[in-house]
Amino acid sequence: MRILVIEDNYRLSESLKTNLVNERYSVDAAYDGQEGQDLAELAPYDLIILDILLPKKDGLEVCRELRRRRVQTPILLLTARDSIDDRVRGLDCGADDYLVKPFAMNELLARLRALLRRQQPYKSARLEIGSLVIDPATHTVEREGQAIELTPREYALLEYFMYHPGQVVTRDMIEQHIWNYDFECSSNVIDVYVRRLRRKIDAPFTTKLLATIRGVGYCLSSPGSKQEAQ
């Protein structure tokens, strides 16, 4: 999943980026409101972490403008202001959640997971398709009760599939949501990672979940769905 951090405090921004990368997220950073808005309009991010007090354009204005332009990406506001009026003002601008500085990283990560889940059909913290289960809080993966070890990039790819159950996911979508601007994605790197993932989550099991949709992309779906694994 790809996250945009808009925060002008360089140390905090780097700390957020490091922690998010460790949590298997792909991260881009902007250090002023205008740059952040430009990036948010350019790429299909899964979530935006937005500071309020920013140079060039403050976070509330950025949030308001993104919603006006129909950018529906979930937004988590960060601010040192903790009055009720400040929180109401932020939420009324179109933000989805609000976190007051200083904050515990564990709380921020839990709020991010909750916001990401809110966009999907899952009711619990774990993501499940058939016998395949992942826990975004612990990054554990299992199928039919067997633990599956994935690399960080394989996990990020599987998590993206799990957040889009039964949907056809194109290679362009994978590239935009799994890698950030710093990564140069070669022509076949996505196919390579999909093959590696399939060897771990599908090959050892009778029922296949990950389908190749020829000429389009891939689909992770439960047994009996319309998409048939190939």
> pLDDT tens digits for 29-54?
999 999 999 999 988 899 999 999 99
Which pairs with CB-CB distance under 8 Å and at least 24 residues apart come from 136-144?
137/109, 137/110, 137/113, 139/23, 139/24, 141/201, 143/201, 143/205, 144/205
> pLDDT tens digits for 173-198?
888 888 766 556 556 888 899 999 99
10 Å CB burial of residue 18 (0-12, 13-18, 19+) is: exposed
- Three-class DSSP category at 176: helix
* 82 and 153 inside one domain: no
> pLDDT tens digits for 52-93?
999 999 999 999 999 999 998 999 999 887 777 877 888 888
Q: How far apart are CA 5 and CA 227, in angstroms?
A: 35
Give me the CATH number covering residue 184. 1.10.10.10
Residues 101, 62, 45, 153: is their CA dihedral positive or negative? negative
Residue 214: pLDDT band (50, 70, 90) is confident
Give me the CATH number covering residue 93. 3.40.50.2300
Per-residue pLDDT for 28 more than 90?
Answer: yes
* 179 and 209 inside one domain: yes
What's the mean per-residue pLDDT of the chain?
87
Per-residue pLDDT for 19 more than 80?
Answer: yes
Phi, psi of 222, rounded to the nearest 5 degrees = -75, 160
| Tally of domains in the chain | 2
Q: What is the structure's pLDDT at 230?
A: 47
Nearest to 225, CA basis, from 200, 205, 208, 201 = 208
* 24 and 105 inside one domain: yes
Residue 83 lies in a domain: yes
* 74 and 145 inside one domain: no
More confident residue, 81 or 172: 172
Residue 228 lies in a domain: no
Check: CB of residue 210 under 8 Å from CB of residue 197: yes
- Containing domain of residue 14, as a range? 2-118
DSSP code for 53:
S
Model's pTM, two decimal places?
0.76
Residue 192 lies in a domain: yes
* 12 and 93 inside one domain: yes
Residue 92 lies in a domain: yes
